[in-house]
Chain A
Amino acid sequence: MFETVFEFFFKYRPIVFGEGTLAFRPTVATFVAAIAVVVIGVVTLRTYQRVRANTRPVDRTVLMVVRLAILAVLLLCLFRPVLVLSQVVAQQNFLGVLIDDSRSMDIADRDGATRADFVTEQFGGEESPLLTALADRFAIRLFSFSSATNRITSVDDLTFDGTRTHLAQALTRAHEELAGVPLSGLVVVSDGADNAGLELSEALVPLEAAGVPVFTVGLGRESYSRDIQLSRVDTPRTVLKGAALVVDVLVTHNGYAGETVSVQVEDEGRIVADQAVTLPGDGEPATVRVRFTAADAGARLFSFRIAPRPDEMVTQNNERNSLVVVEDTREKILYFEGEPRWELKFIGRAVADDENLQVARLQRTAENKFMRLGVEDAEDLVGGFPRTREELFKYRAIILGSIEANFFTPDQLRMIADFVGDRGGSLLMLGGQRSFAEGGYAGTPVAEVLPVVMGATAGEGEDGFFIETGVRPTRAGATHPATQIADTEEASGARWLELPPITLVNRISDVKPGATTLLESADGSLVVLAFQRYGAGKVLAFPVQDSWMWQMHADIAVDDQTHETLWRRLLRWMVDGVPDQVIADLPTDHVELDEPLALRAEVDDANYEEINSSQVSAWITDPDDEITEVSMEWTADRDGEYASSFVPRKEGLYEVRMEATTDGELLGSDTAFVRVAPSDAEYYDSTMQAPLLERVAEETGGRFYTPDTVDSLVDDIQTVGGGVTVVEERDLWDMPIFLFLFLTLILGEWGYRRSRGLA
């Protein structure tokens, strides 16, 4: 609208004024005329000065100014203003036209027509208006782009089945290909859904520097009227077999507010979870928490889906797949008690059936006398609590029971803190007469890593702190995987409130900044379970001395599994994500055929210090069990980081095992998996991304169009584009605005005179 009005008054569109510079082209006659105008002006002034009859000074001034303004407009026109433009020379320049060839172009959101239909209409052949208009003035080079960018001869070569949109790559590629020819610009015809994850700025800077404007034509709607999308599914990459997974699924939608839909999870053909959710208002995301158990070991493909609705515009975005490696390993945990305690018996019993947890229990029964349970062999822990980092760092988690800080040497206390901070292990301190402040931990390195602020101890002659209290989960605890003691969040929350009271002998009321309280006393005044991440690891404080009451109490049924569930989940959560010496790190769990897969390994020595001189290899097993060895090199960017890449040539599941050796000795190995398959990424957030296309145009000096405004594209390229240009002058004296001004001023003068009753 603005452009149309502007063009009506000023003869040309704003972009023309933006590109051109203003100049005047007066002739001799112009100067003669100008002198005449000045003379007339002077005469006018003098006349107004002389006339006195029936006029007020204000009237004279107004009329004099209007007259002079009329003369000024005339004078301006007489000086012949022109707009100096550099115009692209017809047929001497090239124009790259990049057409999106991805799947999302087949979405029919243009009043029943697909986005691809626009391409066919406008670029489909000799009859198509846009292509014809462009071809009249430019030498056209067509490109298709999706996962890859290719030269095409006509739009008949487009298939619209690309599974990714690499916009940045397409711009770079087209620019490179047209580098040796006079290039007026690039036209991008796309829905703008760039899902390649590459940095767009890196592609735009060279274009801007080379003066190649990009004209973007956005196809499709900026929002759907009816659609449900699984926007995000957060699953861990690796879990322990039997782990109870709590996965957040982000659902976005339009047009289904208030309706209840069901999120289903399928583990290779078997439905393992079904969670109903009532959708909030349009455009508002809903987070659905889905729970299921990773029952089978191996690389498992979990599918999350919402059944498509009959009237949905895009149904392909109702499902997401996630590859989760379910490990059937036995994770070592060291539980150290400073005295015989029932907790040791009952915790050991609670996790005894869990084949994936090995809790080595070390119990001091008298001075320098230890009892070992659940150890690996006769030598394991024979000297008591580990004295070397290497020995301690074999474990993934440490539980400290009622053991006073004085038992440990300063080096052992430092080692325990480093176990968390450097090795990335988990530490849990239980309540007891010799734990926390009562155990003399204040001021030790262990106190530094604990998530709680230790309370004051009882003074000389005072009774120690003691309270019997019920327990309730905090908001964080109600949903946290470590404190889920029943199948659903509601049942778990209710079960916590039913559990019998436990006793606390350590007064802990506050957590440190950044720590999270999961459980608190029934009156909310005391911390019962809190954790924080410290360095690479996790630290938990559980100042309860008799959680075994949740097993033994008369209110608990003999076959009740709450105590077992709590300790299994808590310990599993503790060992979850604890790193090994060698970590195989793939940036993604899914690539497409022939798409390079980045391989990355992090390698530490037995003391968990990064090591740069290791020999690291990746053994890649393809779906046909053929094995390829890829050597990995230290990146030099980060200590202990090794990298390489690999291009998969078959569809299916690839196993990547990375192995590190130093001086012929194996440091460790780790296995990751990656799925090679076409991507569905195109259907997510597949509405037209106008902001992205506008940004591309703006940063390169081009313009953004929609099918409704695309008519001016050809003229704009000719004005704005680069390549071979000629200087062209366009007259401005005949702009309608001048006539409009002239007439407005004359009529204004007449009207003023009438209103004032002047002659």
Chain B
Amino acid sequence: MRPRLFVRAGVIATALMGAGWGAPWPAAPAERPGLAPRVTAPAAAQQRPTFRREDLRPTLKNPSANAREFFFTRAIYTGGGRGWGGGAWATDFPKADRQFLSILDRLVDMDAFEMENAIQLDDPAIRRFPFLYALEVGNMYMTEAEVKGLREYLLAGGFLMIDDFWGTYEWQNFEAEIKRVLPEYQIADLPLNHPIFNTFYNIKELVQVPSIGNAQGGPTWERDGYEAQVKGIFDETGRLMVVINWNTDIGDAWEWAESPYYPLRYSTYAIEITVNIIVYAMSH
């Protein structure tokens, strides 16, 4: 490990410990009484619980929480695939979101809401949250209302981060779906000299973050997704609207970053790239 990476990894590890890492879930903040995580153990996943709207968006129980600046907002979309609570959108939800937010709070001087925040693409309230995270998009099949909601969200100024989809088949599906949303814009590669790679951290290489099952050995790729790639969609003024992390599973790294067995290299990269993407989205 190079010294620079070592230092960074140390910072993140400290942040993780400071956030009370170790428990499978960070404790719900005291000011959010009555909010109990719906899913507390992998075993519960098998019961496929249904999320209530106020559980997806804790701010609904306490409107003054809307005073916060940043919400890590997860897109709820229609589609098949893995995940709990009714769809692929909820993969790693909400543990990954909460763990990432507790790290973000320690690394970046920003006013981020510490709880998850998931919202349907066709919900008009989505416009309150200019940052959106969507994953497992290889099996995304959006309704027309969702396509319209996402399109207007992006054109108005919203920003979408895509994660955790692998291989040619899932790419093709995602490409077809995003073309329904933004037919007039092309997907382009984001080279490492793009500002998004040094907005906060200076990222020198792309890392393929494997899913938890492969993280402790074995191949880092899935299907035919051998190489991690970061792509983007720009509007006509050059504004980056969508960042696509393909052949990588950044969300899994947030979710399992507290595990002593999870390789620090992956969680470090996952957190760095996400912090960069968020800071970039909030300034460009």
Contacts and interface: CB of A to CB of B under 8 A. Distances in A.
A363 B128 contact: no
Contacts of B111: 339, 402, 433
Contact of B283 (A352, A361, A369, A505): A361
A366 B130 contact: no
Contact of B67 (A338, A346, A364, A466): A466
A366 B103 CA distance: 13
A549 B128 contact: yes
A463 interface: yes
A373 interface: yes
A342 B282 contact: yes
Interface stretch (A104-112, A263-271, A553-561): A553-561
A552 B128 contact: yes
Interface centre among B63, B157, B239, B279 (most CB of A within 10 A): B157
B130 A340 contact: no
Given A339-B109, A503-B66, A363 B283 contact: yes
Contacts of B128: 549, 552-553
Interface centre among B63, B107, B111, B237 (most CB of A within 10 A): B111
Given A340-B278, A352-B237, A371 B199 contact: yes
Interface residues on B, range: 20 to 34
Given A345-B284, A366-B109, A340 B66 contact: no
Contact of B282 (A341, A367, A463): A341
Contacts of B199: 371
Contact of A342 (B63, B64, B69, B156): B69
Interface centre among B107, B127, B282 (most CB of A within 10 A): B282
A438 to B, nearest CB: 11
A271 B111 CA distance: 51
B138 to A, nearest CB: 28
Contacts of B107: 366
A464 interface: yes
Contacts of A349: 157, 239
Nearest to A433: B111
Contact of A552 (B63, B64, B70, B157): B157
A687 B283 CA distance: 62
Interface in A342-391: 342, 344-346, 348-349, 352-353, 361, 363-367, 369, 371, 373
Contacts of A363: 283
B281 interface: yes
Given A342-B130, A345-B282, A373-B283, A366 B108 contact: yes
A135 B237 CA distance: 84
Contacts of B110: 339-341, 365
Given A373-B283, A466-B64, A558 B69 contact: no
B155 interface: yes
Contacts of A402: 69, 111
Nearest to A361: B283
B33 interface: no
Contacts, number: 95
Nearest to A350: B157
A553 B237 CA distance: 21
B200 interface: yes
B146 interface: no
Contacts of B227: none
Interface string B146-159: 00000010011110
A340 B64 contact: no
Contacts of B63: 468
A364 B66 contact: no
A371 B279 contact: yes
A548 interface: yes
Nearest to A338: B109
B124 interface: yes
B67 A505 contact: yes
A558 B152 contact: yes
A463 B64 contact: yes
Contacts of B200: 365-366, 369, 371
Contacts of A558: 152, 155-156
Interface in A389-420: 402
Interface in A545-575: 545, 548-549, 551-556, 558
A553 B123 CA distance: 11
Contacts of B69: 339-342, 402, 433, 545
B67 A503 contact: yes
A341 B124 CA distance: 21
Given A503-B66, A551-B157, A558-B155, A340 B279 contact: yes
Interface centre among B67, B111, B158, B237 (most CB of A within 10 A): B67
Given A365-B108, A365-B109, A549-B128, A340 B283 contact: yes
Given A345-B282, A345-B283, A364 B109 contact: yes
Contacts of B130: 342, 345, 548, 552
A552 B109 CA distance: 24
Nearest to A554: B124
Interface in B2-50: none
A335 to B, nearest CB: 11
A741 B281 CA distance: 105
B152 to A, nearest CB: 5
B111 to A, nearest CB: 6
A545 B200 CA distance: 23
Contacts of B125: 554
A365 B130 CA distance: 18
Interface in B143-173: 152, 155-158
Nearest to B155: A558
A660 B279 CA distance: 44
Contacts of A463: 64
Interface centre among B66, B130, B158, B200 (most CB of A within 10 A): B130
A554 B282 contact: no
A558 B156 CA distance: 5
Interface in A594-630: none
Contacts of A341: 69, 110, 282
A353 B238 CA distance: 12
Interface centre among B126, B156, B239, B284 (most CB of A within 10 A): B156
A189 to B, nearest CB: 69
Contacts of A556: 156
A345 B281 contact: yes
Interface string A177-215: 000000000000000000000000000000000000000
B158 A552 contact: yes
A464 B69 CA distance: 14
A340 B108 contact: yes
A366 B278 CA distance: 14
Nearest to B238: A352
Interface centre among A346, A365, A433, A551 (most CB of B within 10 A): A365
Given A468-B66, A552-B127, A552-B157, A344 B152 contact: no
Nearest to A556: B156
Nearest to B125: A554
A226 to B, nearest CB: 56
Contacts of B278: 340
A657 B34 CA distance: 71
Contacts of A348: 283-284
Nearest to A558: B155
Interface in A525-549: 545, 548-549
Interface string A309-344: 000000000000000000000000000001111101
Interface of B: 63-64, 66-67, 69-70, 107-111, 124-128, 130, 152, 155-158, 199-200, 237, 239, 278-279, 281-284
Closest 9 CB pairs of A and B: A554-B124, A340-B282, A466-B67, A558-B155, A466-B64, A552-B127, A340-B110, A554-B127, A339-B110
10 contacts: A340-B69, A341-B110, A345-B283, A361-B283, A365-B200, A371-B279, A371-B283, A553-B128, A558-B152, A558-B155
Given A340-B110, A552-B127, A552-B157, 14 more contacts: A339-B111, A342-B69, A342-B282, A345-B281, A361-B283, A363-B283, A364-B109, A433-B67, A545-B67, A545-B69, A549-B127, A551-B157, A554-B152, A558-B152
